[in-house]
Structure 1
Amino acid sequence: MNRLRIGLVGTGPWASATYAPALARHPGVELGGIWGRRPEAAAELADAHGTRAFSDVDALFGASDAVAFAVPPDVQAPLAARAAAAGCHLLLDKPVATTVEGARELAAAVERAAMASVVFFTLRFAAVTSAWVTEQAAAGGWFTGRADWYGAFYAPDGDAPYSSPWRATRGGLWDVGPHALSMLLPVLGDVTAVTAATGPRDTVHLILRHSGGASSTAALSLTAPAKCAGLTVELRGEGGTVVMPAWEETGDAIRTAVDELVACASSGRAHPCDVRFGLRVTEILAQAEESLTAT
């Protein structure tokens, strides 16, 4: 079987450190080309990985079976809709958009084109954490949960290897909020009500009610002091209390996401973390943002 030709949109730190190396090394796909808003950066990244730089994004779509996106969410959404219309499967970054309208338009474009889509919620593709979610969803009987993600990207003593203007502007709610929801929803059910409150700097606290009857909380920040940064997912229920195992980025998650996009493109099956799930995450975060505005 011919390898899937995947184009890459983006040339920033996330594209150069994660997406481009993973696609170039993956035995099941071919990195068919790169497009970026900075042509010189696209040329440099393409040269480093033995592929070509495209000056026109639609030409990249036309030469690709699938496209991976490593650009800000509200740049991603309209470009990904165009890629789907051009017949490309999609490997999307989270959030798929920071407006409900943008996310809905993208989801509708993917549905019209009948393309496969996978949204890269990191913990849902890392081996240890994805297996943990599957196990807890099967166990059931949960009473409450919490997902706390304290990042230190923009703390005075922090390190920001993947810093970008959109992260600095939209803060923890939109950058790490999708990660928290991606872990809570498959275990506790869809969110039926959300309340949000601000904490120090960009920190946001969420209180969520779920369709399964459980409640949960989330603490989200990119500006926590470096010494207290970290993430915790905890569930409490009939069987006791369980905590998500420690996780460390090793590159396995992005490789698995590519594997699963290839499988979905081949089989036609929908992925649990597809664009429709990405849309739901955007809807919940937008509702949280409205809650903050109302207070």
Structure 2
Amino acid sequence: MRIGLLGTGPWARMVHAPALAAHGGLDFVGVWGRRADAAKELADRHGTRPYDDVDALFADVDAVAVALPPDVQAPLAERAARAGCHLLLDKPLALTVEQGRALVDATRATGVASVVFFTTRFRPETAEWIARQADEGGWFTARAEWLGAVFTGDSPFAASPWRREKGALWDVGPHALSVLLPVLGDVSRIAAAAHGPGDTVHLVLEHEGGTTSTATLSLTAPPAAAGATVELRGAAGVTRLPETAEGAAEALARAADALLAAAASGSPDPCDAAFALRVTEILAASQSLLDGTAQGVLDTP
């Protein structure tokens, strides 16, 4: 599969470009970025071609991987889908439900495959744990804590404008939801949403079938307190999301494997754009509740 990369920021440099260049099933055709000099530097580093014209890149590839801010990702990915390109996307899918729906509509209209890189879903230990807990069922309640130190530690993403504006809800919230939803089912209502210190957000979620969960999300945790935990309690007892030392590039390679499989089979991946749209709808409803502009009731997808 011929694939191009959209984006030249830290995530593209640290994860996407190395993973695409090393993948045996991909031909890394080129890089497009909003800064031509950065695109050239990244392309040169990996022995591929820089593109000044994003539509020219779309014409030369079968798929694109996107490492751009979500408000930039969504319209460009929609254009790529309408050009017939399969999509390897990042989370969140978009910063508005409308942008997310337009992107999903484009994938459905053209039949292109899509995979959204929810990192935890593409690491073997955590992916297997999620599948086992979904099969087990009978869960009474769950607790998710996704605490980052992006703004309090030495992170390459500390200067990210969209993270500064949207905070933990939109950055690490998708990770927490990507674990909770396949195990507990869809969210029917955000029962409560409250601000904590810094950009911290606390959510109480009601899932279809009556299970409840809580999520604590932050990018401003003290570095010593950072980390991710998901705990489930139910008829089978107590279980926690396993830790993994695997890097993000290896997980992205598995997401690329999933895209290759979805494109070949025509069957949607569980982490496709439609799933990511539902995550976006939950985030938007949570944001409205936090802002006091709406209740946290969600429409059925």
Instruction: State the TM bucket, normalised to the shorter chain.
Output: over 0.9
1:81 CA drift (Å): 0.3
- State yes or no: 1:112 paired with 2:73: no
Contact between 2:96 and 2:280, CA under 8 Å: does it hold in 1?
yes
1:213 CA drift (Å): 1.6
- State yes or no: 1:51 paired with 2:41: no
- Which consecutive unaligned segments of at least 5 residues does structure 2 have? 294-301
- State yes or no: 1:186 paired with 2:186: no
Equivalent position to 1:290, from 267, 278, 288: 288
- 2:154 aligned partner: 159
Distance, in Å, in 1 between the alignment partners of 2:144 and 2:175 is 9
The sequence identity of aligned pairs, in percent, is 61
Distance, in Å, in 1 between the alignment partners of 2:150 and 2:84 is 37
Counterpart residue identity of residue 104, structure 2: A
- 1:259 aligned partner: 257
Equivalent position to 2:13, from 16, 22, 30: 16
Distance, in Å, in 1 between the alignment partners of 2:245 and 2:217 is 19
Contact between 1:78 and 1:102, CA under 8 Å: does it hold in 2?
yes
Equivalent position to 2:214, from 214, 217, 230: 217
Q: Cα RMSD between the aligned structures?
A: 0.9
Q: What are the superposed Cα offsets for residues 98-130 of structure 1, whole Å, 9 maximum, x if unpaired?
A: 101110111111110110000000000011100
Distance, in Å, in 2 between the alignment partners of 1:89 and 1:121 is 17
Matches within 5 A, 1:233-244: 233-244=230-241
- The SS at the match of 1:53 is strand
- State yes or no: 1:232 paired with 2:236: no
Counterpart residue identity of residue 177, structure 1: G
1:162 CA drift (Å): 2.8
Contact between 2:84 and 2:110, CA under 8 Å: does it hold in 1?
yes
1:168 CA drift (Å): 1.5
- The SS at the match of 2:229 is strand
Contact between 1:34 and 1:53, CA under 8 Å: does it hold in 2?
yes
1:146 CA drift (Å): 1.3
Distance, in Å, in 2 between the alignment partners of 1:76 and 1:145 is 31
Counterpart residue identity of residue 159, structure 1: D
Using the TM superposition, name which of 280-289 and 158-167 deviates more: 158-167
- State yes or no: 1:245 paired with 2:242: yes
Q: How many pairs were matched up?
A: 290
Distance, in Å, in 2 between the alignment partners of 1:249 and 1:74 is 29
Q: What are the superposed Cα offsets for residues 10-32 of structure 1, whole Å, 9 maximum, x if unpaired?
A: 00000011000000000010111
Matches within 5 A, 1:53-132: 53-132=50-129
Equivalent position to 1:277, from 253, 275, 278: 275
- State yes or no: 1:148 paired with 2:145: yes
Q: What are the superposed Cα offsets for residues 32-55 of structure 1, whole Å, 9 maximum, x if unpaired?
A: 110000000000000000100000
- Which consecutive unaligned segments of at least 5 residues does structure 1 have? none
